[in-house]
Amino acid sequence: MYSYYNDNTILYINGEYRKAAESTTDLYGQSLHYGYAVFEGIRAYKTASGEVKIFKAKEHYDRLRRSCELIHIPFKWTNEELIEATYKVLELNNMQEAYIRPLVFCPPNMTLKAASEAHILICAWEWGAYLGEKLLKIMTSSFERPNPKAFKIESKSAGLYVNSILASQEAKDKGYDEGLLLDQAGYVAEGPGANVFFEKDGKVFTPPLGSILPGITRATVIELCHELNIPLEEKLFTIDELKTADAAWFCGTAAEVVGLDSLDGQPFGKPWAQSLGKVLQQAYKAKVLEKEFERAEQLA
Ligand code: PMP
């Protein structure tokens, strides 16, 4: 099993920096029993200047706050204090490139009433590209994304991730790298831990918000399309339409931008190296590392 901490690892909990190995949680917590907790996934990079920077820290902590508000978990922290604590966790652990996991969780309560107080934990570990570097073979999942009318789907809530685990494990059990989930109406929604894009005839498409997590990487890729004059459209599409794509990719903080090889065994039309996906993958990497990016060079 991957070791996320050792005897020296420091985490942040409710205003204090403590050893991970000596920190505990209450076994009667409402979060543990009902999945009633909210979390984030953030990355820090050693940028071109040599400085360690947390990518889109404000956007992630804004989403953490909104995720809590949507499911009525009290949130009493400011972005400033959380961002400061996050840099401190990196510094205390001597980390430069790290995956950061803030978690807001609730104290003991076995009722189904909303929490009246909450705790915050921020921990970090070194993590390579979550889905690897190679192109992924994905399958249409038999699991749908949770119904937006049954849940606050835009809240990055712990309990929602059982759906992601089911879809991801199903894909692995069937020999694929990852699953792709549909929404209630049968349109493509997202991966278990990443948003999806495709390219067709020089244009880029991604599902609109509604049945998906509003990914911060998704927003960054959209921003990059605008910066690079790549036509982009948010629209609903089916698996059949996706199968006609020239290229497709997943994107998320942990996975970054990762190309897809095939869907249900059917390869995408173009070699990845010649796709707009590859251009956006390199532009994303340049952005997080605060490096200059020249599209012309990439296509040469
Ligand atoms: N969808 C789901 C279900 C996710 O878990 C994630 C990862 N947080 C994403 C999309 C991508 O979001 P982000 O780019 O903000 O990491």
121 in the same domain as 79: yes
Q: Which of 53, 56, 156, 200 is catalytic?
A: 156
Cβ–Cβ < 8 Å for 290, 47:
yes
Q: Quick one: what percent of the chain has pLDDT higher than 70?
A: 98
List the residue whose alpha carbon is closest to atom 9 of ligand 1: 194
d(CA 127, CA 87): 17
The pick from 217, 251, 288 for probing ligand 1's pocket by mutation, whose C-beta has the most ligand atoms within 8 angstroms, reads 217
List the residue whose alpha carbon is closest to atom 5 of ligand 1: 193
Ligand 1 binding pocket includes 40 (Cβ within 6 Å): no
Alpha helices by DSSP H, the chain: 30-34, 57-70, 79-92, 161-173, 216-227, 239-242, 276-288, 295-299
Domain end point (choices 66, 91, 125): 125
Q: What is the DSSP string of 62-117?
A: HHHHHHHHHTT------HHHHHHHHHHHHHHTT-SSEEEEEEEE--B--SSSPPS-
Taking the CA of residue 218 as reference, the ligand 1 atom at the shortest distance is 14
What is the token pair recorded at 267?
A: 């390869």
CA 193 to ligand 1 center in whole angstroms: 5
Cβ–Cβ < 8 Å for 134, 91:
no
Q: What is the pLDDT of residues 46-86, one digit of tens each?
A: 999 999 999 999 999 999 999 999 999 999 999 999 999 99
CATH number for the domain harbouring residue 97: 3.30.470.10
Taking the CA of residue 145 as reference, the ligand 1 atom at the shortest distance is 3
CA 63 to ligand 1 center in whole angstroms: 11
Taking the CA of residue 220 as reference, the ligand 1 atom at the shortest distance is 14
**Residue 44: domain span:** 10-125
Q: What is the pLDDT of residues 183-224, one digit of tens each?
A: 999 999 999 999 999 999 999 999 999 999 999 999 999 999
105 in the same domain as 158: no
Q: Whole-angstrom distance between the N-terminal and C-terminal Cα of the chain?
A: 43
Instruction: Name the average pLDDT for the chain.
Output: 96
117 in the same domain as 172: no
CA 212 to ligand 1 center in whole angstroms: 9
**Residue 296: pLDDT band with limits 50, 70, 90:** low
d(CA 255, CA 217): 9
Ligand 1 binding pocket includes 253 (Cβ within 6 Å): yes
Cβ–Cβ < 8 Å for 217, 252:
yes
Asked whether residue 130 is assigned to any structural domain, the reply reads no
Q: Is 235 exposed, middle or buried (0-12, 13-18, 19+ CB in 10 A)?
A: exposed
Q: Is the pLDDT at 133 greater than 70, yes or no?
A: yes
170 in the same domain as 113: no
Q: Quick one: what percent of the chain has pLDDT higher than 90?
A: 95
Least confident of 58-62, 129-133, 235-239, 268-272: 129-133
Q: What is the DSSP string of 256-284?
A: EEEEEEEETTEEPSS-GGGSHHHHHHHHH
Asked whether residue 3 is assigned to any structural domain, the reply reads no
The pick from 253, 281, 284 for probing ligand 1's pocket by mutation, whose C-beta has the most ligand atoms within 8 angstroms, reads 253
Asked whether residue 1 is assigned to any structural domain, the reply reads no
Ligand 1 binding pocket includes 195 (Cβ within 6 Å): yes
C-alpha distances in Å from residue 168, one per residue of 9, 144, 242, 295: 29, 12, 19, 34
C-alpha distances in Å from residue 98, one per residue of 6, 20, 86, 252: 15, 16, 11, 15
Number of domains in the chain: 2
Q: Is the pLDDT at 300 greater than 80, yes or no?
A: no
Q: Give CA 210 to chain center in angstroms.
A: 16
Cβ–Cβ < 8 Å for 203, 231:
yes
Ligand 1 binding pocket includes 41 (Cβ within 6 Å): yes
215 in the same domain as 152: yes
d(CA 52, CA 289): 9
Whether 156 sits among the annotated catalytic residues: the reply is: yes
CA 300 to ligand 1 center in whole angstroms: 32
Taking the CA of residue 63 as reference, the ligand 1 atom at the shortest distance is 15
Ligand 1 binding pocket includes 43 (Cβ within 6 Å): no
Ligand 1 binding pocket includes 206 (Cβ within 6 Å): no
25 in the same domain as 49: yes
Q: Is the pLDDT at 148 greater than 50, yes or no?
A: yes
CATH number for the domain harbouring residue 246: 3.20.10.10
| 3-class DSSP assignment, residue 31 | helix
List the residue whose alpha carbon is closest to atom 2 of ligand 1: 193
274 in the same domain as 142: yes
Q: Residue 2: its pLDDT value, please? A: 84
Domain end point (choices 106, 125, 144): 125
Q: What's the pTM? A: 0.96
Cβ–Cβ < 8 Å for 181, 143:
yes
